[in-house]
Amino acid sequence: MSQQPRLWVRHETRPTERRAPVVPDDARRLVGKGFAVTVEESAQRAFPISAYADAGCRIVPAGSWADAGRDEIIVGLKELPDTPDALVHRHVFFGHAYKGQDGAAALLGRFAAGGGTLLDMEYLVDDAGRRLAAFGYWAGYVGAALAVLQSRGELTVPLAPRSQAELDAELARGAAGPQPRVLVIGALGRCGQGARAALEVAGITPTGWDVAETRDLDKAALLAHDVLVNTVLTTRPVPPFVTPEDLDTGPRLSLICDVTCDVTSALNVLPIYTSVTSWPEPVRRLREGVDLIAIDNLPSLLPAEASVAFSGELTEQLLSLGNPVWDRCEAVYRKAQNAQM
């Protein structure tokens, strides 16, 4: 990659996406290191465009990345718009294109058509395979918080962004009352740590399972909980944690919050639903007495806190563009494209 990369932070087209992959303070760091940073205008982003201008960034209209020079590295978070058909740039974002998800083949086809490259941040990992930039903690935090509020009958819809202080105040209000029995699977990971932190604010000490407990899953013990918060992201197929047949047996389990949202993937550990839920309708009835929360951009409900934490991690990697971390990331993309042929 170029010794002086040109970064282009794009506007997110999803109406509920208010996060930023690079926040103004980190944009200032990049500019100070000689990076040319362009930022698209965005009325919904949690950070004002004036803060990016003050940081030394060039400001351009939303969506103009498609006409940018080919040396620009386009940085975003969630899905790209449906056009252009051919993607010519290097794109850094969460592409969700390597596990057979809906739309994966079409996205990879667009990159193949334009000669561009997908550098999927899910695969930005160290030598041990640990992710170097992730929203996991805040995804777990928000997912567990929503599950608690729903179980108490206090979840207000449609969902709206807020600060951590505001969310914590909601959780703490019911901390002295009766509490659901909550199971967090993946409790030792970043996402699980976030879930357990939110539950602590709510006055709940959850059951925590991780690799040892899921290796030989006690299905009866799982179903005996009131609430399941799944924070496990698998890289290989494993036996499902909950199946449709389990739900048909009339378990005690009444609410499932799938933070991972690996829906439609062959690696999905909760093959009990086929589409995610949303901010307007965050809860879906699966069976009589069993509800689901499966929102695939949970951290955007705490956009400022989540963005600051993520941006700090990502910026450290952007400052080292061209190192083996990025080479590995690109190798995963090349492997996926070859498998398409």
**Cα(271)–Cα(257) distance, integer angstroms:** 13
Tokens of 94: 């969460």
Catalytic residue among 78, 89, 91, 225: 78
Q: Are 314 and 21 in contact (CB under 8 A)?
A: yes
User: Helical H runs in 152-302?
Assistant: 164-173, 190-201, 211-215, 219-223, 244-248
**DSSP class of 291:** E
**Cα(45)–Cα(159) distance, integer angstroms:** 17
Catalytic residue among 11, 91, 96, 225: 96
The helix-helix angle for 24-32 and 303-318 (nearest 10°) equals: 20
**DSSP class of 252:** S
Tokens of 336: 């996926």
78 is catalytic: yes
Task: To the nearest 10°, report the CA torsion of 296, 298, 304, 309.
Answer: -80
**Catalytic residue numbers, as ranges:** 78, 96
